[in-house]
Amino acid sequence: MLVQTVPIQGLRRADYDDLLSLGWFRGTGIVYRSEVVCIDEQIYGVRNIRFPTVSFSMRKSHSKLYRKNMRRFTIRVGTPRVDARREELYRGHLHRFKAFVHDSLEDVQLSPRMGAEIDAMEIAVYDDNKLVAVSYVDVGESSMASILCLYDHHYANFSLGTFTMLLEMDMAKRLGLDFYYPGYVLDLPSSFDYKLELGPCQWLDMECGWQWSQATHHPGKAERIRQKLAELEAMLQAAGYHPSLHIYPYYTLGHLITDRPDLIRVPAFYVLQSGHLIFGVSYDILLDAYVCFDILEANELNHLHQLELSDDYRLGDTYVLQTLCSTFCRPLSSDGFIDELHELIQIMTNADLA
């Protein structure tokens, strides 16, 4: 599965540690693992990283920043809370969030533990009595996971985003925890790479476990999907089609709603049209095959779309932001792909005309 979730209710600290070590993250009310994300009008693979606290030491530039900011600011650690100032900081960061976003910080913090043993904490940075940054973390039995960081953009000269990561790492060491998880990066260069500035880290390889070098990484599913889609586009163009690529973030529902096998579960597809019929052609990594399917809207699932769309999603040209289903999804062989595609489209078109 490209996406998996488990409920957070009743989750023990040691269980949370185990999930973090296998590449899982906490959302508002769930713990999930996703191997493919759809952002920046591209398909990316998730690369999980972590820092063993015992081997971590600050770089010289970070030590200088840490000392300077510790002299300037007051640090307070406590239970996460929401107020007008924190909401103001949250709104100031909405433009940089990717994919789906909560409308308010209160929604993000709504019942974060939900009966789980996980300790949710906040690290607040004050300039006198003014809150200028706040970060939220989860603490398990032996691990800390960074959840969200907010800071005042007027304090850009103080690198508060980096500073709060250093504060989180320092807290993890002081609490005697083994690992600090800053969240994931992507398998291609992206804005997520700021997390790598902390220094040497361990990388999760799904086949070999945690490694100190990303060079040992086996090709991930997103990389294979991108490769197969590129090959698919070349075949379609050679056959005289004019395919247009669409990125489909709601592919996750096709993996999570198990009683709806008709939901489209590929994160991207090419659109072909015959008459008024619209077909999707893609590569299904779970089947390891090219597939062709018709495209219908599953409007009965619109109630699941409760989150706001990021600027990336609202302004992007290639996204499909409705839940889609199909009445058929036929695998096509690689060798006879074009002939089988022609035949299938002709059959479906004739049936529609009859």
pLDDT of residue 103: 86
pLDDT at 113 over 70: no
Mean pLDDT for 127-155 is 96
Please count the structural domains in the chain: 2
Lookup: tokens for 197: 């500035």
* In contact, 204 and 47? CB cutoff 8 Å: yes
pLDDT at 204 over 90: yes
Tell whether 202 and 57 lie within a shared domain. yes
Strand partners, 186: 46
Q: What does the alpha-carbon distance between residue 282 and residue 192 come to, in Å, rounded to a whole number?
A: 27
pLDDT of residue 216: 62
Tell whether 19 and 125 lie within a shared domain. yes
Tell whether 13 and 46 lie within a shared domain. yes
CA dihedral of 192, 195, 196, 202, whole degrees rounded to 10 = -110
Choose between 159 and 112: higher pLDDT.
Answer: 159
Q: What does the alpha-carbon distance between residue 335 and residue 351 come to, in Å, rounded to a whole number?
A: 26
Ordered DSSP codes for 24-58: -EE-SSEEEEESEEEETTEEEEEEEEEEEGGG---
Provide the domain limits for residue 103: 3-215
Confidence of residue 23 (pLDDT cuts 50, 70, 90): very high
pLDDT of residue 116: 67
Mean pLDDT for 234-249 is 94
Tell whether 8 and 111 lie within a shared domain. yes
Residue in 184, 11, 9 with CA at minimum distance from that of residue 111: 9
Q: What does the alpha-carbon distance between residue 273 and residue 295 come to, in Å, rounded to a whole number?
A: 11
> Given 215, 247, 263, which residue is the final one in a domain?
215
Tell whether 54 and 179 lie within a shared domain. yes
Strand, helix or coil for residue 73: coil
pLDDT of residue 110: 54
Strand, helix or coil for residue 110: coil
In the chain, pLDDT over 90 holds for what percent of residues?
75
pLDDT of residue 257: 95
Q: Residue 225: CB partners within 8 Å, gap ≥ 6?
A: 36, 43, 267, 268, 283, 285
Mean pLDDT for 232-252 is 94
Mean pLDDT for 155-177 is 97
pLDDT at 201 over 90: yes
pLDDT at 124 over 90: yes
Instruction: Please provide the average confidence, as pLDDT, over all residues in the chain.
Output: 91
Q: Residue 345: CB partners within 8 Å, gap ≥ 6?
A: 272, 274, 277, 279, 292
pLDDT of residue 237: 94
pLDDT of residue 353: 54
Task: Express each pLDDT in 74-102 by its tens digit.
Answer: 999 999 999 999 999 999 999 888 888 88
Tell whether 180 and 249 lie within a shared domain. no
Confidence of residue 354 (pLDDT cuts 50, 70, 90): low
Strand, helix or coil for residue 79: coil
Tell whether 193 and 44 lie within a shared domain. yes
> Given 182, 215, 248, which residue is the final one in a domain?
215
Task: Express each pLDDT in 42-53 by its tens digit.
Answer: 999 999 999 999
* CATH code for position 150: 3.40.630.30
> Given 185, 215, 245, which residue is the final one in a domain?
215
Tell whether 231 and 181 lie within a shared domain. no
Mean pLDDT for 298-325 is 92
Number of separate helices (H) and strands (E) present in the chain: 9, 22
* In contact, 171 and 144? CB cutoff 8 Å: yes
Task: Express each pLDDT in 281-293 by its tens digit.
Answer: 999 999 999 999 9
pLDDT at 8 over 70: yes
Tell whether 141 and 243 lie within a shared domain. no
Lookup: tokens for 219: 């090709």
Contacts by 341-348, CB closer than 8 A, 24 or more apart: 341/239, 341/281, 341/292, 342/239, 344/292, 345/272, 345/274, 345/277, 345/279, 345/292, 348/274, 348/277, 348/279, 348/294
Tell whether 187 and 246 lie within a shared domain. no
Confidence of residue 114 (pLDDT cuts 50, 70, 90): low
Tell whether 208 and 253 lie within a shared domain. no
pLDDT of residue 249: 96
pLDDT of residue 167: 98
pLDDT of residue 120: 87
Q: Name residue, tokens 């792909």.
A: 337
Residue in 271, 279, 270, 289 with CA at minimum distance from that of residue 224: 289
Tell whether 104 and 144 lie within a shared domain. yes
